């Protein structure tokens, strides 16, 4: 499977079911002001086809806001259908960064 050509700066990925989820983007800057350039991309693992891509505005009010990693969280460890797609952002001033986690509970 090839990396989709539409990706920006790669920041994380995870797989869940038949799909691969990718996170890309960079921190806020003079050339990347709010709402930023953080995207979530979905790829079908069976075909390698990109099936969705959208800019997320999760955490849009954070200072700095650099996307950092993805994971699946099961709200019920005994039920795989309870998955949440989690992704994080580093925020705040250099030397005092914070981690903020957001999630989507609906999947493609």
How do residues 88-101 score in pLDDT, each as one tens digit? 999 999 999 999 99
Structural domain total, the chain: 1
* Residue whose C-alpha is closest to residue 90's, from 105, 103, 79, 100: 100
Residue 67 lies in a domain: yes
| Confidence grade of residue 26 (pLDDT, cut at 50, 70, 90) | very high
Q: Decide if pLDDT at 7 tops 90.
A: no
Residue 4 lies in a domain: no
- Strands (E) in 1-108, as ranges, are 10-16, 19-24, 39-44, 50-55, 66-74, 83-91, 98-104
Query: By residue range, what is the domain housing residue 37?
Result: 10-104
pLDDT digits over 50-102, tens only?
A: 999 999 999 999 999 999 999 999 999 999 999 999 999 999 999 999 999 99
Q: Decide if pLDDT at 2 tops 70.
A: no
Residue 61 lies in a domain: yes
CB atoms closer than 10 angstroms to residue 41? 20
Residue 1 lies in a domain: no
Residue 90 lies in a domain: yes
């Amino acid at each position: 499977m090839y990396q989709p050509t539409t990706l920006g700066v790669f920041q994380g990925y995870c797989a869940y079911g038949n799909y691969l989820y990718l996170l890309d983007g960079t921190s806020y800057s003079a050339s990347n002001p709010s709402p930023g350039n953080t995207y979530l991309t979905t790829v079908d693992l069976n075909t390698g086809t990109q099936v969705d891509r959208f800019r997320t505005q999760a955490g849009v009010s954070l200072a700095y806001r650099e996307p950092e990693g993805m994971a699946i969280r099961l709200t019920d460890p005994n039920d795989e259908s309870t998955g949440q797609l989690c992704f994080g952002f580093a925020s705040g001033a250099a030397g005092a960064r914070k981690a903020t986690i957001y999630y989507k509970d609906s999947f493609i």
